[in-house]
Amino acid sequence: VQTDIPPVKDTLPFQVGAAISRAQTIGGHGELLTRHFDSVTPGNALKWDATEPREGEFTFDEADHLVAYAADHGLRFRGHTLAWHSQTPAWVFKDGDRDLTATPADKALLLGRLENHIRTVAGRYKGRIQTWDVVNEVVDENQPDGMRRSPWFQVTGYDFIRTAFRVAREVDPAAKLVINDYNTEFPRKRQALYNLVRKLKAEGVPIDAVGHQLHVNIERPPASEIEKTIETFAALGVDQQVTELDVSVYTDFVSSYTTVPEAVLAEQGHRYKEIFDVFRRQAARLSSVTVWGLADDDTWLSTFPITRLNPPLLFDDELQAKPAYWGVVDPA
Ligand code: XIL
């Protein structure tokens, strides 16, 4: 690990984090992590399929390790995530072989499962989790009401969101509670999420912050749209966080390089710089920025949306600083 370059966290006016799994706490990865970052988010370890694969059977192996590692190394912890439609076991939305429906009995059953899940998971780490992504990806701007037709919404309407925030606040009152989503820098998605947060805040739902995932690519969306999103949500008086930043080197869902050209990595560096210029300008509205991975040897974009070489992060496979790193730390 390079020790002659500035720690990312020393160069930015907000908390900076990385998504990790157990592998990022070991050897050079652990050194890189603790040297450059203030906080961590588990990439998968706190999702429902990891923590409650069968009803009432909880498994906390990796999550316990990561929470303890963070505490031992002075890293803040972002919990991700309590209610999502993805990486959630099928049993959650079923009664035996039958899919739950919008009847009062099924709704009560599902909200009960949600409450028990949150009490157990958030309760276990009470006081040790700085921030929770309470609900993830609940918006669908193509629905008339802007709400994703997940089983959560189809069975409970807005109540799963109300329940999730209420219970999370009750079991861990010190944790900052986030509503998290992707593509929030696109106008229609931005508006749909804005409308939802305004409505829920007006009802008194304890939402502290809006999380912008910010999975972007080397060209789009324009930095001006990212800035517009941060300015728009500021009007709601909520804190904001960037929760899952990465910069794909592709602008489509089919291309792939066998080696990524140096010029493309340089362009990625400029793109990181233009995005962090926005964050610096908006620092008063942003409490943290998290990149979705530590180094290019482990990134979800190597399989999503197709399997291909896609180095989207600040450090390369050998844990060396890329132009992307310099774009973040050296804005001159
Ligand atoms: C991704 C993880 O990084 C992968 O390891 C996993 O296979 C799929 O999920 N939005 C989210 C994250 O909120 O939880 C996703 O994480 C990436 C997209």
Query: Would 225 be classed as within a structural domain?
Result: no
Q: Which of 82, 216, 292, 297 to mutate to test the pocket of ligand 1 (most atoms within 8 A of CB)?
A: 292
Looking at the DSSP bridge assignments, the partners of residue 282 are none
Query: Would 282 be classed as within a structural domain?
Result: yes
Ligand 1 pocket check for 136: Cβ under 6 Å: yes
Question: Which two three-digit tokens encode residue 180?
Answer: 């998290």
Are 12 and 58 within one domain? Answer: no
Question: Which two three-digit tokens encode residue 146?
Answer: 């802007």
Looking at the predicted structure, is the pLDDT value of residue 331 above 90?
no
Residue 296: alpha-carbon gap to chain centroid? 18
Q: Which atom of ligand 1 lies at the shortest distance from residue 243's CA?
A: 13
Query: Would 202 be classed as within a structural domain?
Result: yes
Query: Would 30 be classed as within a structural domain?
Result: yes
Are 187 and 291 within one domain? Answer: no
CA neighbor of 300 nearest in space, from 226, 260, 262, 248:
248
Residue 86 Cα to ligand 1 midpoint, Å, equals 9
Are 127 and 95 within one domain? Answer: yes
Stretch 69-84: mean pLDDT: 98
Are 59 and 28 within one domain? Answer: no
99-116 tens-digit pLDDT: 999 999 999 999 999 999
Are 83 and 201 within one domain? Answer: yes
> How far is residue 291's CA from residue 138's CA, in Å, rounded to a whole number?
21
Residue 307: enclosing H or E segment and its boundaries? none
Are 101 and 159 within one domain? Answer: yes
Looking at the predicted structure, is the pLDDT value of residue 295 above 90?
yes
15-46 tens-digit pLDDT: 999 999 999 999 999 999 999 999 999 999 99
Residue 266 Cα to ligand 1 midpoint, Å, equals 26
Query: Would 157 be classed as within a structural domain?
Result: yes
The domain tally of the chain equals 2
DSSP assignments along 84-146, one per residue: -SSS--GGGGEETTEEP-SSHHHHHHHHHHHHHHHHHHHHHTTTT-SEEEEEES-B-TTSTTS
Query: Which pLDDT score is estimated for 332?
Result: 79
Query: Which pLDDT score is estimated for 24?
Result: 98
Residue 287: alpha-carbon gap to chain centroid? 14
Q: Which of 81, 300, 302, 313 to mutate to test the pocket of ligand 1 (most atoms within 8 A of CB)?
A: 300
Are 29 and 66 within one domain? Answer: no
Q: For the chain, give the percent of residues with pLDDT over 70.
A: 100
Are 247 and 284 within one domain? Answer: yes
Looking at the predicted structure, is the pLDDT value of residue 264 above 90?
yes
- The residue from 213, 240, 258 where one domain ends is 213
Ligand 1 pocket check for 43: Cβ under 6 Å: yes
Q: In the structure, what pLDDT confidence band is assigned to residue 317 with cuts at 50, 70 and 90?
A: very high
Contact assessment for residue 154 and residue 111, using Cβ atoms and an 8 Å cutoff: no
CA neighbor of 164 nearest in space, from 136, 183, 189:
136
Q: For the chain, give the percent of residues with pLDDT over 90.
A: 99
60-76 tens-digit pLDDT: 999 999 999 999 999 99
Are 33 and 47 within one domain? Answer: no
CATH number of the domain enclosing 107: 3.20.20.80
Give CA separation, 218 vs 15, 16, 211, 232, in Å.
24, 21, 21, 24
Residue 182 Cα to ligand 1 midpoint, Å, equals 11
Query: Which pLDDT score is estimated for 40?
Result: 99
Q: Which of 44, 178, 216, 245 to mutate to test the pocket of ligand 1 (most atoms within 8 A of CB)?
A: 44
Which pTM was predicted? 0.98
Residue 301 Cα to ligand 1 midpoint, Å, equals 9
Are 164 and 179 within one domain? Answer: yes
In the block, which residue shows the tokens 């999702």?
47
Are 206 and 151 within one domain? Answer: yes
Query: Would 52 be classed as within a structural domain?
Result: yes
Contact assessment for residue 11 and residue 289, using Cβ atoms and an 8 Å cutoff: no
Looking at the predicted structure, is the pLDDT value of residue 175 above 90?
yes
Q: Which domain holds residue 260?
A: 1-37+231-332
Are 59 and 208 within one domain? Answer: yes
Which residue type is seen at 155?
Answer: V
Query: Would 201 be classed as within a structural domain?
Result: yes
ipTM: 0.99
- The residue from 181, 213, 245 where one domain ends is 213
Mean pLDDT of the chain: 98
Query: Would 223 be classed as within a structural domain?
Result: no
- The residue from 179, 213, 247 where one domain ends is 213
Looking at the predicted structure, is the pLDDT value of residue 252 above 90?
yes
Residues with active-site annotation: 137, 244
